[in-house]
Structures are given as C-alpha cells and as structure tokens.
Structure 1
Amino acid sequence: MPKMIFVNLPVADVAASTAFYEAIGFAKNARFSNAQSSSMVWSDAIYVMLLAKPFFATFTEKTIVDAATHSTGHYALSFDSREDVDAITRAAVEAGGRELHEPQDMGFMYSRAFEDLDGHGFGPFWMDSAAIEAGPPDQA
C-alpha cells in the first residue's frame, strides 16, 4: 500500500468548505463523508478531511485555534505549470477564499498563496523539473 497523507482541518461549515474545495479541484469521496465531515481527494495519496469543529475536538484535548487569526500550517501543492498555479488561486478567490500575496517568481519556481474559508493557508507552486534535478540554487 502506498504511503498516504490525510490532512485533518477543523472547519466552521462542512457544506460550505466542501463546496470551496470542490471549486478548487478536489473531489469529494462520498463513502467517507457525512454531515460532520467531508473527505476531499487531491490525489491517490493525498486527502484533506474537513471536520466540523465539534467533531474535530473529539480527536484532541488541545484548544482548536482560529485559523483566521492564528497560523496553523501552510500546505504547499505542486502543479505542472504556472498557469495551473494561477488557475487554482483564481478559483480559490472566486469561491470565497483570500489571496495572501502577489505571485512569487524566482525563475526556477513560481508560487502563490491563498486561504480557504476558515483561514487555512495553501501555497500552490510550480518548479522547473531541471531545477529539481539540480537542487536548490546557490545562496552565496
């Protein structure tokens, strides 16, 4: 079985968050979704679980922070082109998300950033495949 990751995010409104993630290209896995959670598929190995905050609280004794006011993580998503990076960012903003800053173009890598409806941060990026093979640029 391949290694997989399931990112669990507390959300205020499961239905609204599900619609947002569908709008930016995730697919809902109905078999593992209900009124208090949605299983959103990014790839065969990457899932985002949208959990209503009261349900999310059953998994931890810690305080659930407000992602709109506190940074809880920033999830980078790789894409095959700059255009794909622009498209998901545009879709996120059109679906009610918020763009965090202007596009960052380093030549070998291009990235943007947005937040979902609850303030969870995402950083879609494209990297030149030759740059991946060569490793990070010399910082000297």
Structure 2
Amino acid sequence: MDKTIFVNLPVADLASSTAFYESIGFVKNDKFSNELASGMIWTDTIHVMLLTHEFWKTFTDKQIPDASEVAQVLLCLGLESRAAVDAMVERAAAIPGGRADPTPTQDMGFMYGRSFEDPDGHIWEISWMDPEAMGNGPGELAEAQH
C-alpha cells in the first residue's frame, strides 16, 4: 500500500457534507460509508472521512471545536493550474454552506492559492505552483518571494 492520508473531519449533517464534497470533486467510497461516516476519495492516496459528531466521539474524548469559530488546521490540496484553483473555490462557494476565501488569496507569481470553507467551517486551501519553481527547491522558492 502506498503512503496514504485519511483526514477525519467531524460534521454536523453527514448528508449535506457528503453532497458538498461530491460537488467539489470528491468521490464517495460506499465501502467506507454508512449512516455514521462517509469515506470520500480525492486521489488514491488522499481520503477524507466525514464523521458524525456521535461517531467522532468514539475516537476521542476531546471536545469538537466549532470550526466556524476556531481553526485548528488548514487543509491544502494542490491543483494543476491557477484556473483549476479558481474553479474549485467558486464551485465550493456556490454550494449551500460553502464560503469562498476565508483566508487571504496568495499570489506570488510562481505560486497561487485561494481557500474555501465547507458547511462546518473547515478551511481548505487550494493551491497551484509552477512546476519549474517546484523543481528549484525551497531555497530558490524563498528567494523568489523577496
């Protein structure tokens, strides 16, 4: 098995959240979905598990933060172009409960990013980076910012 990430997110309304994620391009994995959770696939190695609050509480005793009020993580997905970034953010904002640009747009020429919130307030940053700039490594990227 390749190295894989499963991001687990508590959601207030599983059906609405599942529909939101499907609308922005995730695919529901019925093998890992039921009335308590929806397994959502972004790529072969990136998965998001949407968990009802009740199911989430079986994994931890910690309180579920209200993501519309506090941010614990910023999740980021890379896309193939600036246009794809804009399209995904606009698609998310058009869905009930979605909101565009809760964080500032980043445009550094070689790197471009925007963000959206899902219906529960989880922030997703969507970014594009020039493939040539990525090949130059972090040192040259830092220099390009100045």
TM class by shorter-chain length? over 0.9
- Match for 1:128 among 119, 130, 135? 130
Structure 2 unmatched runs, 5+: none
Identity among equivalent positions (%) equals 51
Question: Is the partner of 1:17 in helix, strand or coil?
Answer: helix
In the aligned structure 2, how far is the partner of 1:35 from the partner of 1:72?
A: 26
Give the aligned partner of residue 71 of structure 1.
Answer: 71
CA-atom RMSD, angstroms? 1.2
Letter in 2 for 1:98: R
- The C-alpha deviation readout for 1:51-78, integer Å capped at 9, x for no partner, is 0011101100111111111102111100
In the aligned structure 1, how far is the partner of 2:66 from the partner of 2:106?
A: 27
Q: What pairs up with 1:61-100 in 2 under 5 angstroms?
A: 61-96=61-96, 97-99=98-100, 100=102
- The C-alpha deviation readout for 1:22-60, integer Å capped at 9, x for no partner, is 010000001110111100000000000000011101100
Letter in 1 for 2:25: G
- Match for 2:114 among 85, 107, 112? 112
Question: Is the partner of 1:60 in helix, strand or coil?
Answer: coil
Return the offset for 1:103: 3.2
In the aligned structure 1, how far is the partner of 2:33 from the partner of 2:113?
A: 31
Give the aligned partner of residue 2 of structure 2.
Answer: 2
Return the offset for 1:134: 1.1
Question: Is the partner of 1:48 in helix, strand or coil?
Answer: strand
- The structure whose residues are more often helix, as a share, is 2
In the aligned structure 2, how far is the partner of 1:87 from the partner of 1:34?
A: 30
- The structure whose residues are more often strand, as a share, is 1
Give the aligned partner of residue 29 of structure 1.
Answer: 29
What is the aligned residue count?
Answer: 140
Give the aligned partner of residue 137 of structure 1.
Answer: 142
Question: Is the partner of 1:137 in helix, strand or coil?
Answer: helix
Give the aligned partner of residue 39 of structure 1.
Answer: 39
